[in-house]
């Protein structure tokens, strides 16, 4: 059945110097994948793509997965940047033989990694970093060119299954 998962991420951003920080349209999300019948598979999603790529399990390799980003809402408020993403994916029950675990709609230990891009006004070069569920927080990020703080993650991304 078709499921929708909402993911909300927030980063605290210092006012200056302006690094034009923005969420890229790429993210990795753990999903219980009925195609390779493994729980907690890292699935690569790209905004605008009509399918995703499941990392599969070792020798079974990568494969296309029935998942896509259906909403991607960026917002800025009070020194924070936010991203609200909805991922639609097809879910069917199965039993993971290797882990001896039943699949769940929201995988048991949901995990996400968001990618971000920025532009350094000092060096006039672009840069990237990522924010993910299992970071130790607060997790500050500095510009890879001029070393000033450009963002800080204070809370892990949140997950909510939509009806």
Rounded distance between C-alpha atoms, residue 30 and residue 5, angstroms: 11
Q: Report the site for Zn ion in 130-149 (rule: CB under 5 A).
A: 143, 145-146
46 close to 26: Cβ distance less than 8 angstroms? yes
Under the criterion CB under 5 A, does residue 35 sit at the interface with Zn ion?
yes
Q: Which one among 27, 29, 52, 54 touches Zn ion, defined by CB under 5 A? A: 54
Q: Is 33 a residue that touches Zn ion (CB under 5 A)? A: yes
Residue matched to tokens 């020798």? 59
- Which CB sits closer to Zn ion, 65 or 69? 65
Structural contact between residues 145 and 123, judged by C-beta atoms closer than 8 angstroms? yes
Contact segment (CB under 5 A) with Zn ion among 48-56, 66-74, 78-86, 132-140 equals 48-56
In the bound state with Zn ion, the residue whose beta carbon lies nearer, of 49 and 146, is 146
Number of residues in contact with Zn ion under rule CB under 5 A: 10
- Closest approach, Cβ 37 to Zn ion, in A, equals 8
Distance CA 145, CA 130 (A): 16
* Measured distance CA(135)–CA(157) in Å, rounded: 10
- Residue 117 exposed, middle or buried by CB count within 10 Å (0-12, 13-18, 19+): middle
The contact set with Zn ion (CB under 5 A) reads 33, 35-36, 41, 54, 120, 122, 143, 145-146
């Amino acid at each position: 059945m078709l499921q929708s998962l909402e993911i909300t991420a927030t980063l605290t951003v210092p006012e200056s110097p302006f690094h034009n920080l923005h969420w890229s349209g790429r993210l990795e999300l753990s999903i219980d994948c009925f195609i390779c019948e493994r729980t907690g598979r890292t699935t690569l999603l790209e905004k605008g793509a009509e399918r995703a790529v499941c990392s599969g399990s070792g020798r079974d390799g990568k494969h296309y997965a029935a998942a896509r980003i259906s909403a991607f809402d960026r917002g800025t408020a009070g020194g924070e940047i936010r991203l609200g993403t909805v991922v639609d994916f097809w879910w069917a029950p199965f039993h993971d033989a290797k882990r001896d675990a039943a699949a769940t709609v929201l995988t048991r230990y949901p995990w996400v990694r968001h990618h971000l891009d920025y532009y350094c006004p000092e060096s006039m070069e672009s840069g990237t970093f990522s924010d993910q569920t299992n970071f130790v927080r607060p997790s500050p990020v500095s510009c890879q060119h001029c070393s000033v703080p450009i963002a800080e993650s204070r809370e892990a991304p949140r997950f909510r299954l939509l009806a």
